[in-house]
Amino acid sequence: MLRFSKRKQYKSFFNICIGILFSLLLISCDTVGSIDKFQHQDTTQIFNGGILAMKHGNYLSAIDHFSALEKLYPDNKYAEKILIYKIYAYYKQNKNTEVLANCDRFLKVYPMSNNIDYVYYMRGVVNMKMNQTIVEKFLPYDPAERDLTSLKLAFSDFNLLIKAFPQSRYLVDARQRMIFIHNILARYYLRVANFYYLHSDYIATINNANTIIINYQTSDSVPYALVLLIKSYQALKLTKEAQLVLQVFHYNYPHSPLSKYILNNTDYKIY
């Protein structure tokens, strides 16, 4: 893992912040007064212009058209379609916050729409993307402090989609994403458990390992969590508890190579 000096970390973080602010300023300047060019167009002309921009991959122009249409003609006949197109256009521009805002707006305004499954799907996809912040991409972080809120929200969105729309065209992909998130969440708790084990905090290790075993039983992190439980109980001189978990481990994973970590005093480090 690359390690940065504090001075370099602060400099990198400062440059990131400046870049973000500059981008926001450019977007703001680009949209000021943009509504004027649509003043003499009717709803169909503006809408078709947005659709044409979408077809050519000009998503900023499409957003410009649809936003102007909403402002000039709030009760226009394309209102529901506009929101759907804006969700996709913002997604293509990596405007995650705007995607989520428009998804929430759509669910509130059109709760009976035939496009609800698409909106839940897109909200889930974007929540998955938002799990890693810009700061985490550039600066090192303590795994025990990472926020899982976005991943959990994504899982909830896909779960709602599957339960409410069993015939949805997005069902298969939503299921695959749920499995992926399920394993990611389990691996996160495994990272945290391992972090605490390496720092001799065995109670915290046991708590996080149990979270995996109870809540993520189908994940591939379970055997590792069991080993951490055994090693932690052994470190705490809780022989009976260690033996019980050892029996569970051997019953479910009789030929696991992880046994070497139990049978000797090898340091246990997953990552």
What is the pLDDT, as a whole number, of residue 27? 41
Helix H or strand E segment including 115 = none
CB 174 within 8 A of CB 155: no
* Residue matched to tokens 């394309």: 78
What is the pLDDT, as a whole number, of residue 263? 60
Rounded to the nearest angstrom, the gap between the alpha carbon of residue 238 and the centroid of all alpha carbons in its chain is 38
Residue 213, amino acid: I
Residue 231, amino acid: K
248 vs 238: CA distance, rounded Å: 16
Q: Please, which contacts does 207-215 make with residues 24 or more away whose CB atoms are closer than 8 Å?
A: 212/186, 215/186
* Residue matched to tokens 């009717």: 42
* Per-residue model confidence as pLDDT tens for the chain (271 residues): 323 344 444 444 455 454 444 444 444 444 434 688 888 899 999 999 999 999 999 999 999 999 999 999 998 999 999 999 999 999 999 999 999 999 999 999 999 999 999 999 999 999 998 876 544 555 555 444 567 888 899 999 999 999 999 999 999 999 999 999 999 889 989 999 999 999 999 999 999 999 999 999 999 999 999 999 999 999 999 999 999 999 999 999 888 888 776 666 555 555 4
Please give the torsion angle defined by the CA atoms of residues 30, 33, 34 and 40, in that order, rounded to the nearest 10 degrees: -170
Contacts of 141 (CB under 8 A, 6+ apart): 135
Burial classification of residue 101, based on how many CB atoms lie within 10 Å of its CB (0-12 exposed, 13-18 middle, 19 or more buried)? middle
143 vs 91: CA distance, rounded Å: 28
92 vs 188: CA distance, rounded Å: 28
CB 208 within 8 A of CB 196: yes
DSSP code for 36:
G
Q: Please, which contacts does 194-202 make with residues 24 or more away whose CB atoms are closer than 8 Å?
A: 194/228, 194/268, 194/269, 194/270, 194/271, 195/142, 195/143, 195/144, 196/144, 197/228, 197/231, 197/232, 197/268, 198/269, 200/235, 202/232, 202/233, 202/235, 202/236
CA distances from 12 to 8, 9, 22, 137, 223 (A): 6, 5, 15, 11, 39
Q: What's this model's pTM, rounded to 2 decimal places?
A: 0.74
What is the pLDDT, as a whole number, of residue 267? 52
